[in-house]
Chain A
Amino acid sequence: MKGHYGNYGGQFVPETLMHPLEELESAYGEAQCDPSFQAELDQLFHNYSGRPTPLYLAERLTRAWSGARIYLKREDLNHTGAHKINNCLGQGLLARRMGKQRIIAETGAGQHGVATATVCALLGLECDVYMGEEDIRRQELNVFRMKLLGARVIPVSAGSKTLKDAINESMRDWVTNVHTTYYMLGSVLGPHPYPLMVRDFQSVIGREVRGQILEREGRLPDVLVACVGGGSNAIGLFYDFVGDKQIQMVGVEAGGRGPKLGEHAARFSGGRPGVLHGTFSYILQDADGQVVPTHSVSAGLDYPAVGPEHARLHDDGRVAYTSINDEEALEAFHELSHLEGIIPALESAHAVAHAKKLELPAGQIVVINLSGRGDKDVTEVMRLMGAG
């Protein structure tokens, strides 16, 4: 049994995929032992993506809210505008090392698709991105960006036409083209070793925060807040701090339109453990074990399962999971834009909204992971404002 987080995780895939998963695990193990792999990744992080990303003290938010010092980890300032590039650079180097010439990926909000297309252009790899038709509609700017970068965007019309269905289609492609194709999964999801590998590549976020906050404040933060779709930006921020028991960590899921099943993507409050996309974790399912449709204003959170390591952190009580609804997220989207001149991704706006709700007193330090920028969301927000 491999890749378990307490009861969660594992490998639940068609047998055909077990060989490539073993191959991937062993290639990743070798890469980790190879200093030149990490050196090349660090170099790309620095010179290509612009890491370390700033840790920004949001003074106007701090004054407008309750006085706790609000820091934003500016993952939105990464090349391509979100944390997703951290994982794609890592996996891209790994794919090249494995001699795979064709990359496939799924995307929800389009951020992972753009990051994948970017890295494929950089490394000279062929790139096919699966994207649900509903997400294509919501994120047309990112669709065009992927095409500009030389990727093919393959629309998925099955099911709810969102991220879940894009992953189904990616897995079908992978099982068919297993010998030539590398599946660049975008979050801490799927069968082992993906949750582990993606977490490792994203954990640079938390490591940087530790150094930055110690330098600025001379102490560690009191609270960390991040949005949780699959959970890669959240685990990236949290991972380095799991052992610092005094730090409160909050994962924010999409509350959507309300608590009724089908109206949200709050897996911990509305879901039960089950198996989806290769891993055992909390999933939104009906009484018969069918995965149910989800809703969120943000495409990147609109997914019925959550990374298995989050499931363990939840059960252990180490991380508190909560949700923010569409309306609250949109308010935070506007508030951050007005007060700080930063338009956040709708995903990240969920984390911002929750940090406000915490009403932490002056003297406390909060770090919010601003996982992505909101340019991709402006047309959707415009549409929603027009409709409202």
Chain B
Amino acid sequence: MTRIEKKFAQLKSEGRKAFIPYITCGDPSLEVTLELVLALDKAGADLIELGVPFSDPIADGPVIQRATDRALRNGVTLQKVLQLGANIRKKSEIPLVLFSYFNPLLNHALEKLAKDAVSAGFDGVLASDLTIEESELFVRTMRIAGLNTIFLVAPTSSPERMKKIAETSTGFLYAVSRTGVTGERQELAGDLKAFLRTLRLYTKLPIAVGFGISQPEHVQAVWREADGAIVGSSIVKKVEEHIGQAELVSKVSAFARWLAGGGVAIDTPNK
């Protein structure tokens, strides 16, 4: 069992749901990312998605695009993110998902990626533009190495696709809450509940929901229907707001705690 699988099993036995922050690695620096991961772990994160920046992030909205630009300008590479994973592992056992687009992963060579990701302490891999149709070699290579392969499932996915995506995924399923790119939204999609209930018919895997989740109420609403809530853009935006400030890590982790409902809002989100 990977750390991801163990975590979801443990949460289930405790009747709890997962809080999963996403952060772009190297925004504003890899040193800060390391501190952030450790602080988010303490703030109640159950898993963390570590984003490897890619030059052409077609699935991302403006917030993560800007974070990606900053990270790339800082010279962040997949190689450095793997090293970051190893540094995190010296201090934390929090499950880690390597999150990127397919090209940087493919460029590393899949077998080498699997080996390096495992030895760095990653537990799962997700490429947001890798469809199940194109994933056979990727899935086989990652699984042999002991990594979970996590795929996105969308509200536009047909029941046949939901089934196939569930069969191709391990660890958990990443349900995209709505059509569109990543980014904060005021409201959750109205048809989210129906989508998640349909999806549930096709899988026993834990389902985590992402895209547009930016309020504690969103997290609570998602937890009622699914096994985890993924928060990306609103956390990345919080990072952006505090770049260059000594309190960046404490502000962002307090914000995460507030989102997860585990603490009080120290820094009220801009709305």
Q: Given that A288-B104, A289-B78, A289-B107 are contacting pairs, would A14 and B134 also be in contact in the complex, using a CB cutoff of 8 Å?
A: no
Segment among B25-33, B123-131, B141-149, B200-208 that sits at the interface with chain A: B123-131
User: For window 72-121 of chain B, which residues contact chain A by CB distance below 8 Å?
Assistant: 72, 77-79, 101-108
Chain A residue numbers with a CB within 8 Å of B55 are 159, 290-292
Q: Which of B131, B155, B165 contacts A13 (CB 8 A)?
A: B131
CB of B179 within 8 A of CB of A275, answer no
Q: Quick check: which of A28-36, A80-88, A144-152, A172-180 contacts chain B, the rest being far away?
A: A172-180
Q: Given known contacts A10-B134, A11-B131, A277-B56, is B151 in contact with A175 (CB within 8 Å)?
A: no
Whether a CB of chain A sits under 8 angstroms from the CB of B158 is yes
Residues in A neighbouring B57, C-beta threshold 8 A: 168
Asked whether any CB of chain A lies closer than 8 Å to the CB of B9, the reply is no
**Complex contacts, A275 vs chain B, CB 8 Å:** 101-103, 106, 129
Q: How far is the CA of A13 from the CA of B57 in the complex (A)?
A: 11
Contacts of B233 in A (CB 8 A): none
Return B159 CB to nearest CB of chain A, in Å.
11
Complex-state Cα separation, A1 to B152, whole angstroms: 18
- Min CB gap A154→B, angstroms: 14
What is the bound-complex CA distance between A164 and B56, given in angstroms? 8
Looking at A15-23, A45-53, A134-142, A355-363, the stretch in contact with chain B turns out to be A15-23
A19 touches B157 (CB 8 A): yes
**25 A-B contact pairs sorted by A residue (CB < 8 Å):** A10-B134, A11-B131, A12-B129, A12-B130, A12-B134, A13-B58, A14-B59, A15-B161, A16-B155, A16-B156, A16-B180, A19-B156, A19-B161, A175-B179, A175-B180, A176-B179, A275-B129, A277-B58, A285-B103, A288-B107, A289-B78, A289-B105, A291-B55, A291-B56, A291-B103
Chain B, residues 175-203, CB within 8 Å of chain A (1/0): the string is 01001110000000000000000000000
Which B residue sits closest to A283, measured CB to CB?
A: B103
Docked-complex contact B129 and A19, CB < 8 angstroms: no
Contacting residues, chain A, for B216 (C-beta < 8 A): none
- Residues on A with C-beta less than 8 A from B133 are 1-2, 10-11
Do B128 and A288 have beta carbons less than 8 Å apart?
A: no
The answer to whether B156 touches A18, judged by C-beta atoms less than 8 angstroms apart, is yes
Contact A172 B179 (CB under 8 A): no
Interface, chain B (partner A; CB < 8 A): 54-61, 65, 72, 77-79, 101-108, 128-131, 133-134, 151-158, 161, 165, 176, 179-181
A175 to B157, alpha carbons, bound, how many Å?
A: 13
Chain B neighbourhood of A283, CB < 8 A: 103
Kindly state the separation between the CA atoms of A19 and B154 in the bound complex, as whole angstroms.
9
The interface residues of chain B lying within 8 Å CB-to-CB of A285 are 103, 107
Chain A residues contacting B157 (CB-CB under 8 Å) are: 15, 18-19
Query: Are A16 and B108 also in contact (CB < 8 A) when A274-B103, A277-B56 are?
Result: no
| Residue A58, interface by CB 8 Å | no
Q: What are the residues of chain B within 8 A of A22 when measuring CB–CB?
A: 158
Nearest-Cβ distance from residue B61 to partner chain A, whole angstroms: 7
Q: A159-B55, A274-B103, A290-B54 are in contact. Are A176 and B181 (CB under 8 A)?
A: yes
User: Chain B's interface: helix, strand, loop or mixed, by majority?
Assistant: loop
**Nearest CB of chain B from residue A281's CB, rounded to whole Å:** 11
Binding site for B on A (CB under 8 A): 1-2, 10-20, 22, 158-159, 164, 168, 171-172, 175-179, 274-278, 280, 283, 285, 288-292
- How far apart are A367's CB and chain B's nearest CB, in angstroms? 35
A22 CA to B77 CA in the complex, in Å?
34
Give the one of A17, A172, A277 with max B CB within 10 A.
A172
Residue in chain B with minimal CB distance to A4: B134
Q: Given that A15-B154, A164-B56 are contacting pairs, would A179 and B103 also be in contact in the complex, using a CB cutoff of 8 Å?
A: no
> A13–B179 contact, CB under 8 A?
no
Query: B102: which A residues are within 8 A, CB to CB?
Result: 12, 275
Residues of A within 8 A of B72 (CB): 290
- Other A-B contacts than A10-B133, A12-B130, 14 sampled, CB-CB below 8 A, are A11-B134, A13-B131, A15-B153, A15-B156, A18-B156, A18-B157, A19-B154, A168-B56, A172-B59, A172-B180, A175-B181, A177-B179, A288-B79, A292-B55
Contacting residues, chain B, for A276 (C-beta < 8 A): 56, 103
Return the contact of B158 from the options A19, A164, A171 (Cβ within 8 A). A19
Contact flag A15-B152 (CB < 8 Å), given A171-B58, A285-B107: yes
Residues of A within 8 A of B156 (CB): 15-20, 178
B-chain residues with CB within 8 Å of residue A12 when the two chains form the complex: 102, 129-131, 134
- Chain B residues near A278 (CB-CB < 8 A): 129
A280-B102 Cα distance, complex, nearest whole Å = 10
CB of A16 within 8 A of CB of B107, answer no
CA distance A278 to B56 in the complex (A): 11
Residues of A within 8 A of B104 (CB): 288-290
The minimal Cβ–Cβ distance linking B58 to chain A, given in whole angstroms, is: 4
Chain A to chain B: the 8 pairs with minimum beta-carbon distance, closest first:
A289-B107, A289-B104, A176-B180, A19-B156, A16-B154, A288-B77, A15-B152, A15-B154
A168–B55 Cα gap in the complex (Å)? Answer: 10
CB neighbours (8 Å) of A16 from chain B are: 152, 154-156, 176, 179-180
Q: Are the CB atoms of A15 and B180 closer together than 8 Å?
A: no
Q: Kindly state the separation between the CA atoms of A372 and B188 in the bound complex, as whole angstroms.
A: 47
Which residues of chain B are near A18, meaning CB under 8 Å? 131, 154, 156-157, 161
Say how far A173's CB is from chain B's closest CB, in angstroms: 9
Name the distance in Å between B54's Cβ and chain A's nearest Cβ. Answer: 7
**B134 contacts which chain A residues (CB < 8 A)?**
1, 10-12, 280
Cross-chain contact A14 with B151 (CB below 8 angstroms): no
State whether B153 touches A172 (Cβ < 8 A). no
Q: Across the interface, do B103 and A289 meet the contact criterion of CB distance under 8 Å?
A: yes
Q: In whole angstroms, how far apart are the Cα atoms of A13 and B79 in the complex?
A: 24
* Closest chain A residue, CB of each to CB of B136: A1
Q: Which A residues lie within 8 Å of B131 (CB)?
A: 11-13, 15, 18
- B residues near A290, Cβ cutoff 8 Å: 54-55, 72, 104
Q: How far, in whole Å, are A158 and B102 apart by their CA atoms in the complex?
A: 20
CB proximity of B208 to chain A, nearest CB, Å: 14
Which A residues are in CB contact (< 8 Å) with B79?
Answer: 288
